[in-house]
Amino acid sequence: MNQASTHPEEPGTGLKLAIDLGPLLIYFVAYWLTKNVVLATGIFMVATVAALAASWLKTRRISMMLAFSAVMVLVFGGLTVWLHDATFIKMKPTIYYVMVATILGFGLFTGRQMLKLVLGQAYPGLSDAGWTKLTRNWSLFFLVLAAANELVWRTTSTEFWLGFKLWGALPATLLFALANIPMMMRHGLDTDGSAKDAPLPPQG
C-alpha cells in the first residue's frame, strides 16, 4: 500500500477559492435572484457549512480564520433568519472586522505575533519586523472596513450594501493584500515558497 495515499490531499487553487469566497458569492447570487435577504442569508449559512465540510474532507483541518468567519455567519445569520431582520447580517461585518482588528492590536500591544500564529506557514522567511508591520497594517485596514460598513448599511439600501461588499470591500481587501507584498519581500518573504499556499485575506 502507498503510505502517502493515507494523507489528506492539499487543496488546489480552485478549491481554495471555492472554500474562501464561494459562500459569499452564493449569498450575493441568492439575493439577486430572490430579492429576499432572509432567504439569501439562510442559503449563505448552508453554503458556509458546506465550505467547512469541504475543507475538512480535503485537508482534515479547518483554518482558524475560516472557523471564526463561519461562527460569525451562523450566529448573525441565524438571528437574521429567526427574527426576519436583515440588521443582524448587515452588522456582522462590522463586528467581525472590529474583533479581528482588536485581536491583532492586542497581539501588537502584548508582543505576541497573533497573525504569525495563523499565517506563519503561508509566509516563510518573513522576519519579526515584517510580521509586526503586516499585523499593524491589517489591523488598521480592518478598522477602516468596519467604519465603511457601518456607514453604508446605515445610510443605503440592502442592494447597495451588497454591491459595496462585492465591488468595494472584497476587491479592496484583495488589493490591500497585494499591496503588502513589496513590504514583506523587503523583510525576508520567500515568494517562491509562499505563492502556492498563501491564503486569501479573511472576509467579513
- Per-residue pLDDT tens over the stretch 139-172: 999 999 999 999 999 999 999 999 999 999 999 9
pLDDT at 199 exceeding the cut of 50: yes
Q: What pLDDT does 10 receive?
A: 52
pLDDT at 3 exceeding the cut of 70: no
**Global pTM value:** 0.83
Between 34-38, 99-103, 119-123, the lowest mean confidence (pLDDT) is in: 119-123
Task: Give the CA-trace dihedral at 167, 14, 103, 154, to 10 degrees.
Answer: 20
The answer to whether 124 and 194 are in contact (CB under 8 A) is: yes
* Average pLDDT estimate for 173-192: 89
d(CA 95, CA 72): 9
d(CA 155, CA 98): 20
The answer to whether 89 and 56 are in contact (CB under 8 A) is: no
d(CA 84, CA 41): 10
Query: Could you give the angle at which helices 13-34 and 64-83 cross, rounded to 10 degrees?
Result: 10
Q: What pLDDT does 2 receive?
A: 46
113 CB-near residues (< 8 Å, 6+ apart) = 107, 120, 128, 131, 132, 135
d(CA 163, CA 87): 16
Domain ranges of the chain: 3-194
d(CA 169, CA 156): 15
The model's confidence at residue 12, banded by pLDDT at 50, 70 and 90, is low
The model's confidence at residue 1, banded by pLDDT at 50, 70 and 90, is very low
Q: What pLDDT does 48 receive?
A: 94
How many other C-beta atoms can be found within 10 angstroms of the C-beta atom of residue 155?
A: 9
Instruction: Identify the residue whose cell numbers are 499591496.
Output: 179
The mean predicted confidence, pLDDT, of the chain is 86
d(CA 127, CA 133): 10
Q: What pLDDT does 17 receive?
A: 74
Q: What pLDDT does 6 receive?
A: 45
pLDDT at 7 exceeding the cut of 70: no
Q: What pLDDT does 198 receive?
A: 57
d(CA 86, CA 80): 5
Cell of residue 50, nine digits: 458546506
Instruction: Identify the residue whose cell numbers are 439577486.
Output: 32
* Average pLDDT estimate for 88-93: 95
The model's confidence at residue 18, banded by pLDDT at 50, 70 and 90, is confident
